Structure 1
Amino acid sequence: MGADEASKSAEKKAAGYSGRFLVRMPSELHEQLALKAERQQVSLNRYVTDTLSSSVGLNGSQAQAGKEPSKAVRPRTLRMALVTNLAVVVVAGVVAVVLLVLALQRGI
């Protein structure tokens, strides 16, 4: 690396990065990314940021310029918690019905 290239690199680092850049891509790729983001119930920007962050070893929420890690529950985590809760309630209901039937059969 020449002295001129080194000074340009130092200037670029000193100026910092805006956190914004334009990416041109095939429409098919744009569609697939948008569909995956929709399935995960996040914005396309968030999905792409998280995906790129994980590819370079960063946490997606920390990679956003100047932001602390998000403490919000992700929709997928919330969905899993609700499904687990529903399963527990259904099992408890089945156990209650079985116990009620047994109690009625024994005349209790």
Structure 2
Amino acid sequence: MDRDAQKFHVKVLNTPEANVLFLSGELDLSTAEQFRSVVEPLAGQRTVPLKLNLRELTYIDSTGIGIFVSVLKKRQPEEASFAVQEVPAKIRRLFDMTGLSRYLTMEGGGL
């Protein structure tokens, strides 16, 4: 596989309805800070729904899952909307195995 195809990318789409982050590539220890620096300020905007589109995410490790948990903890006390979209089957299995699925609102295909 082309190493560049595995690199992690995050694209942000800000609309009046929601902040949507499109994740692609591999979210792991080496790319976690890049993701955290984008998602944490948006997680703090509690009046705007936050959605993570995972359609092109090929891998996530425990560091990436930890960031998801951090976002959940930041948004849940104030019931701020947080959802994941188009979760690939192998990522969904990992969410199921770790118990994270119980806490995530899942939208779109790939469920």
- Whose RCO is larger (CA < 8 A, sep 6+)? 2
Greater helix content: 1
Structure label with greater radius of gyration: 1
> So what's the TM-score if we normalise by structure 2?
0.23
Greater strand content: 2
